[in-house]
Amino acid sequence: MSVEVEIAKLTAKDYASDQDVRWCPGCGDYSILAQTKKVMAKIGIPKEKYVVVSGIGCSSRFPYYMDTYGIHSIHGRALAIATGVKLARPDLQVWVATGDGDALSIGGNHFLHAIRRNIDINILLFNNRIYGLTKGQYSPTSEMGKRTRSSPNGSIDFPLRPLSVAIGAEASFVARTHDVNVAHLGEMIERATQHKGTSFVEIYQNCNIFNNGAFDYATGKTTRDDTTIALEHGRPLIFGKERKKGIRLNGLSPEIVDVGNGIKDDDLLFHDERSTEPTLAYMLSRMYHPEFPEPIGVFRAIDRPSYDEMLEDQVEAAVAAQGEGTLEGLLTGGDTWVVE
Amino acid sequence: MAGPTAAQPAGTVERLDGVVVRFAGDSGDGMQLAGTQLTNTSAIFGNDIATLPDYPAEIRAPAGSLAGVSGFQINLSEARIHTPGDGCDALIAMNPAALKANLEDLNVGGVVVVNSDAFTKGNLAKAGYDENPLEGDSLDRYRVIKVPIDTLTTEAAKDTGLGTKAILRTRNFFALGFVYWMYGRSVDTTLAWIESKFKKVPAVVDANAKALKAGYFFGDTTEAVAVRYEIRKADIAAGTYRKVTGNEAVAIGMAAAAQRANKSLFYASYPITPASDILHTLCRYQSYRVKTFQAEDEIAAMAAAIGASFAGSLGSTGTSGPGLCLKSEAIGLAVMTELPLVIVNVQRGGPSTGLPTKTEQSDLLQAAFGRHGESPVPVLAAATPSDCFAMTLEAYRIAIRYMTPVLLLTDGYLGNGAEPWRIPEVDSLPDLRVEHPKANGSAFQPYARDGKLARPWAIPGTKGLQHRVGGLEKANITGNVSHDPQNHEDMIRLRATKIAGIANDIPLQDVEGPADAELLVLTWGSTYGAVITAVQHAQAKGLSVASAHLRYLFPFPRNLQDVLRSHKKILIPEMNGGQLRFMVQGQYRVDTVGYSKTQGKPFRIAEIEQKIDEVLKG
């Protein structure tokens, strides 16, 4: 993303609108909002250059709380609207705040196509594995067997894995973080802004009303070292409180091994976020608790041309080849004849 | 490569005011192409023209079957015309199925040119003929010209190096060449087209050109045809013309609107028959800084248009009925966010997939009322293919001035039909430049309104005007989210009043014919041509008839009630079950007579004339 720095230094506060934030007290959304404002202030692009687009759901109130341009649209369509904004005005910084229902259920089609086109936008997916705004139905990321208001006998819907879907749609930037570790959250959002093309960040976000504790295993101080694994580019996959456990490839499948006892770091899987081949990123996206530690960090960050840039190039090429089109030329194009 | 010219014919020449020619064959036979070429040649010659393609939904139905017959009708005339004609005077039938499917539309005494090679046992069976119609007396009412088109084409192009199959694909040009001879038209325009179209494949240029000329020379040399026809130039207004279909006219209108607004056009669309040609035309306009976006679905196309308009472009989308259904929710968002954009609906037969390649006017009520909530959207409708240009500009004028989505209705008949279009002077087009607000020190109020009740169009990138729009109800003036009961009612009224006020900004409804005629024929959309012609015929017979054609359907012109009350009887012909009638009767409490036709085909002039007689007698 092109970064033009404003001379007057802005702070996170400057990016806050005058509206009262109306999420439930204790909601994970607060920390995402705070980190986003912080990152925007840090990279210093003027507020008026941002358009924040959302659909429907708790997370989709996001634009109201930012002192930027914004559209709080309709359910599932944020990515399609954001696509129109970015194609019309490639100079703008376009962000999308969405949820697991908004992006993966009603908006699933737009999710696939925005990503495959690699439109230069940043998608923050607030994944709380529940429908919160409609008061507690299971979502496309809810686990099988989950009892909710719409699944009293347990959900029989197999969950989607958002990162796997994104990678399957040829995502050029894919990351995961969570709302509790604010430093990591901020770091991921910042990485997303630096990436050219669609940046997709899945954020584990706690809904303390309808799905409280859904991610305790991954965020709890006593458990997180064993249940998550931080991805670092070019480094071996090591985790655990003692950093004694690692991920090794066994054939085409990952396995957990104890480091030491003849197994060295070099025997482990090394992370490569820049691999053009998506297999490693996809495999990591399939590692889920409790069988595996769940990876957090950047899964994939590759260079791929974006649709908006290519469209702009085509327009400029057409203008260069045919000259700047005029109204006169438009009207008299094609075969004409004169009646005296 | 100079072709034969339209020199004075040696044999008998009969002068005609006009002629209606229909090409019919398999959907792969190139009938649309042959028809288009005759249209172009005649337009350039100086005839008035109107065309109607009629093609099946199947791209390639089984060869020789009735389901696969594709037709293209051209009315070329010395007099001013408004329709492609009721029946045809000449039918070119490339096989038995084409003959069978079209014969009922051939006027008695008309010419039928048949490809006699195609009348094989197998083809006759596929068309459902028990015996060969070329052998019995069933065609006695017509002038039948049997031409072994396959044989002659194969012979003409045998030295081009193409295989038999490829050579046979040029038989449409043989048929076209023969038609050019019959009507005294030069082959030059088509020869030039062939050369430019196939320039990368010289053998194909050669074969098509040879077939075309062979068809022409066949007419010249054979004694089978005694008469040629002459149709002189039409007396039409001076100016520079080009031929446009309705879909092309919409595309040109959109690009022109962007030029007049000094903005870039953004057109998002999902392919759908019969609207796709708008996308096909606009995507070739990149040098006019037109951006097209083939979206993943209808909803995305509508949503992207909203995004583009918010960002300051002229957002637009086009579709046909089923697609309009899918866009409805997002149109509601455009109503709530009060953003200027244009939605074109090229109507087709419905409901559901319906008759995708056939015309209908059955989305009027959907356009006017087909959204949840109180969701007023201006609705306009074009009358003719070239009128699509003017109405597209008008749609943008209203969208920009009133900060609202606007729906423009055309239909398959207008979208695919073509006529000559007198190219307007650039300065005669509306000035659509917009003054976007800039920060002035006080807090920006995105839902403050001007005298027309339009809100300001502040675009991203403008310092100090950051604001949020969205689908939740907005507080009046500030645009903040509001659940206040009174505010909601106020906002509903404001939006409705704004749209109703457009009636003060559009032309008064005019009437063709006596203002106090006993009968008024009230129409909208593509029925214009057939009705105006029928009404002129009726007036010539001395009947007390006038017609009024609506281009503005929501809101109606402010004098419409007076117009309606000035006539004893009102007839409303529509290609639907009576939708305009429903709106007019509901709004003005007048009695009207409806006349519905929903056969996927436009009204014939004769049908309207007959109905006029009937209503006046009744």
In A61-128, DSSP assigns E strands to: 69-72, 93-99, 121-127
Residue A112 forms contact with B (CB below 8 Å): yes
Closest A-chain CA to B336 = A73
Residues 6+ away with beta carbon under 8 Å from A216: A223
**What span, in angstroms and rounded, lies between the C-alpha atoms of B610 and B329?**
42
Q: How confident is the model at residue B408 (pLDDT cuts 50, 70, 90)?
A: very high
Tokens of A7: 């001379």
- Does any domain span residue A206? yes
Residues A103 and A90 in one domain: yes
Residues A153 and A246 in one domain: no
Residue B297 forms contact with A (CB below 8 Å): yes
Residues A130 and A177 in one domain: yes
Closest B-chain CA to A340 = B238
* Inter-residue contact B428 to B311 (CB < 8 Å): no
Report the CATH number of the B239-506 domain: 3.40.50.970
Number of neighbours of residue B59 by Cβ within 10 angstroms: 9
Residues of chain B with C-beta less than 8 angstroms from the C-beta of A337: 43-44, 46, 240-242
Mutate to test the interface with B, among A64, A335, A338 (most CBs of B within 10 A): A335
- C-alpha distance from A197 to closest chain B C-alpha (Å): 17
Residues A109 and A195 in one domain: yes
- C-alpha distance from B543 to closest chain A C-alpha (Å): 34
Residues A108 and A139 in one domain: yes
**What span, in angstroms and rounded, lies between the C-alpha atoms of B46 and A313?**
41
Residues A82 and A230 in one domain: yes
Residues of chain A with C-beta less than 8 angstroms from the C-beta of B293: 83-84, 87, 311
- C-alpha distance from A44 to closest chain B C-alpha (Å): 14
- Does any domain span residue A1? no
Say yes or no for a CB contact (<8 Å) between B426 and A319. no
* Inter-residue contact B571 to B612 (CB < 8 Å): yes
Count how many residues are written for chain B. 618
**What span, in angstroms and rounded, lies between the C-alpha atoms of B349 and B353?**
8
What pLDDT is recorded for position B220?
A: 85
For B:298-337, CB contacts with A below 8 A are 299-301, 303-313, 315, 329-330, 332-333, 337
Burial of B365 from C-beta contacts in 10 A (0-12 / 13-18 / 19+)? middle
Instruction: Report, as ranges of residue numbers, the positions in chain A whose pLDDT lies below 70.
Output: 1-8
Say yes or no for a CB contact (<8 Å) between A49 and B461. yes
* Inter-residue contact B251 to B276 (CB < 8 Å): no
Q: How confident is the model at residue B13 (pLDDT cuts 50, 70, 90)?
A: confident
Per-residue pLDDT tens digits for A151-163: 999 999 999 999 9
Residues of chain A with C-beta less than 8 angstroms from the C-beta of B438: none
- Does any domain span residue A2? no
- Does any domain span residue A99? yes
Residues 6+ away with beta carbon under 8 Å from B217: B4, B177, B181
Q: Tell me the ipTM for this assembly.
A: 0.96
What pLDDT is recorded for position B9?
A: 43
- C-alpha distance from B545 to closest chain A C-alpha (Å): 33
Domain regions of chain B by residue span: 12-231, 239-506, 519-617
Instruction: Work out the average pLDDT over B590-616.
Output: 97
Report the CATH number of the B519-617 domain: 3.40.50.920
* Inter-residue contact B91 to B109 (CB < 8 Å): no
Report the CATH number of the B12-231 domain: 3.40.920.10
Tokens of B153: 């084409």
Asked whether the predicted pLDDT for residue B8 surpasses 70, the reply is: no
Residues A190 and A92 in one domain: yes
Instruction: Work out the average pLDDT over B297-306.
Output: 98
Per-residue pLDDT tens digits for B243-284: 999 999 999 999 999 999 999 999 999 999 999 999 999 999
Say yes or no for a CB contact (<8 Å) between B311 and A63. no
Per-residue pLDDT tens digits for A193-217: 999 999 999 999 999 999 999 999 9
Say yes or no for a CB contact (<8 Å) between A315 and B286. yes
**What span, in angstroms and rounded, lies between the C-alpha atoms of B10 and B16?**
17
* Domains: count for chain A: 2
Residues A162 and A17 in one domain: yes
Per-residue pLDDT tens digits for B423-453: 999 999 999 999 999 999 999 999 999 999 9
How high is the mean pLDDT of chain B? Answer: 94
Q: Identical fold at B239-506 and B519-617?
A: yes
Residues of chain B with C-beta less than 8 angstroms from the C-beta of A111: none
Mutate to test the interface with B, among A86, A308, A337, A338 (most CBs of B within 10 A): A337
**What span, in angstroms and rounded, lies between the C-alpha atoms of B600 and B347?**
11
What pLDDT is recorded for position B11?
A: 64
Which residue matches tokens 């022409």? Answer: B216
Say yes or no for a CB contact (<8 Å) between A73 and B429. no
Residues of chain B with C-beta less than 8 angstroms from the C-beta of A119: none
Say yes or no for a CB contact (<8 Å) between A338 and B239. yes
φ/ψ (deg, to 5) at A229: -135, 125
Residues A255 and A265 in one domain: yes
**What span, in angstroms and rounded, lies between the C-alpha atoms of A128 and A104?**
12
Asked whether the predicted pLDDT for residue B5 surpasses 60, the reply is: no
- C-alpha distance from B584 to closest chain A C-alpha (Å): 33
Q: What is the DSSP string of B350-389?
A: -STT-BTTS---TTHHHHHH-SSSS----EEE-SSTTHHH
Residues of chain A with C-beta less than 8 angstroms from the C-beta of B265: none
What pLDDT is recorded for position A43?
A: 92
What pLDDT is recorded for position B1?
A: 36
Per-residue pLDDT tens digits for B361-404: 999 999 999 999 999 999 999 999 999 999 999 999 999 999 99
Say yes or no for a CB contact (<8 Å) between A87 and B266. yes
Residues of chain B with C-beta less than 8 angstroms from the C-beta of A314: 286
Q: Containing domain of residue A175, as a range?
A: 12-234+272-312
Residues A261 and A169 in one domain: no
Residues A49 and A163 in one domain: yes
From residue B96, how far is each of A192, B26, B99, B136, B603 by CA, in Å?
65, 10, 5, 14, 27
Closest CA to B334 of B399, B408, B261, B410: B399
For A:306-335, CB contacts with B below 8 A are 311, 314-315, 317-319, 321-328, 330-335
Residues of chain A with C-beta less than 8 angstroms from the C-beta of B266: 84, 87-88
Say yes or no for a CB contact (<8 Å) between A77 and B303. yes
Say yes or no for a CB contact (<8 Å) between A70 and B289. no
Residue B238 forms contact with A (CB below 8 Å): yes
Residues A220 and A294 in one domain: yes
Residues of chain B with C-beta less than 8 angstroms from the C-beta of A339: 46, 236-241
* Inter-residue contact A236 to A265 (CB < 8 Å): yes
Residue B232 forms contact with A (CB below 8 Å): no
Closest B-chain CA to A323 = B287
Per-residue pLDDT tens digits for B23-43: 999 988 999 999 999 999 999
